[in-house]
Amino acid sequence: MSGYNDLIGENKKPILCLDFDGVCNSYLSGWQGADNIPDAPVEGAFTFIKNALNYFDIYIFSSRSNQPGGIAAMQDWFIKHNWPGTYLTGPEYLNFPTEKPAAFLTIDDRAITFTGEWPRMEDLRNFKPWYKR
């Protein structure tokens, strides 16, 4: 079981893991390949991330993270959409791991919070992410 020290990043802040597709990137075009990201940011995403950097080490993770060209494509996407500075230095620093980190908290468009009660299969089968409702 992970202790709190396993859930903090390099800057000794808790790790907030953000899913890329459907959370940062609007993902309206769906999957176009690990290195092809045609869609714009989700409205408010950059403002949220900039604020969250005051409290968390931000880790951007996706199913494309461990595929050839996936991380570079996500990093380039942030720059293309005017992420301040570069993604490698300064207060705008974002982490792009190849494996999902042991995070303090994760924000994902395709997840359900486990409350101690198992969800009904019908609810799982009918699940839709926010951008398909």
The pTM assigned to this predicted structure is 0.86
The total number of structural domains in the chain stands at 1
**DSSP label at 58?**
E
The pLDDT, as a whole number, for residue 1 is 42
Average model confidence (pLDDT) for the chain?
Answer: 89
Distance CA 60, CA 93 (A): 11
pLDDT in tens, 40-91: 999 999 999 999 999 999 999 999 999 999 999 999 999 899 887 655 555 5
The pLDDT, as a whole number, for residue 43 is 95
- Residue 46 has φ and ψ, to the nearest 5°, of -70, -35
Q: How much of the chain, in percent, has pLDDT values that exceed 70?
A: 86
Across 11-27, average pLDDT:
94
The pLDDT, as a whole number, for residue 17 is 97
The pLDDT, as a whole number, for residue 93 is 85
Distance CA 94, CA 99 (A): 15
The pLDDT, as a whole number, for residue 90 is 56
The pLDDT, as a whole number, for residue 89 is 54
Query: For residues 69 and 32, is the Cβ–Cβ distance under 8 A?
Result: no
The pLDDT, as a whole number, for residue 5 is 62
The pLDDT, as a whole number, for residue 8 is 75
Query: Which range of residues forms the domain containing residue 97?
Result: 4-132
Phi-psi region of 123 (alpha: psi -120 to 50; beta: other; left: phi over 0): alpha
